[in-house]
Amino acid sequence: MATPPNPIPPPAGSQPPGAGPLPPPYSPEQHRARTASKLAFGLLGMLGVIILVHYAFLIALVFWKHDDYAASLVVDFSHAWLPVLSGLAGAAATYYFTTRNGK
């Protein structure tokens, strides 16, 4: 036979035994700082990975003697993708470093 549920609720702020400590209360400032940090470092990481992949493809195309494709890749990357990605990464890093110490 199962034990009947306890009709008396536990006091506020208490936890069952073995549940561990209570999480800290929600702080909008800390949440905003963590989000800005993740966004800035994520975009900078993405920029770095894309640049590395671009140069890896460029080296592979030159190695396999596809110079016409390599020239097209350089133009497409430097005129379309690089300005967009560097703008996003720069804006995110600027936001992260100015709001972190600004308030």
pTM of the predicted model, to two decimals?
0.65
Q: Are 99 and 29 in contact (CB under 8 A)?
A: no
| Better-scored residue on pLDDT, 89 or 9 | 89
- CA pair distance 74, 61, nearest whole angstrom: 11
CB-CB contact of 50 with 85 (8 Å) = yes
pLDDT above 50 for 102: no
Residue with tokens 């596809």: 66
pLDDT in tens, 2-58: 666 766 766 666 666 666 677 788 888 888 888 888 988 898 899 899 999 999 999
Domain locations in the chain as residue ranges: 28-102
More confident residue, 84 or 20: 84
Complete DSSP assignment for 49-95? HHHHHHHHHHHHHHHTT-HHHHHHHHHHIIIIIHHHHHHHHHHHHHH
Cα 96 to Cα 79: distance, rounded to the nearest angstrom: 27
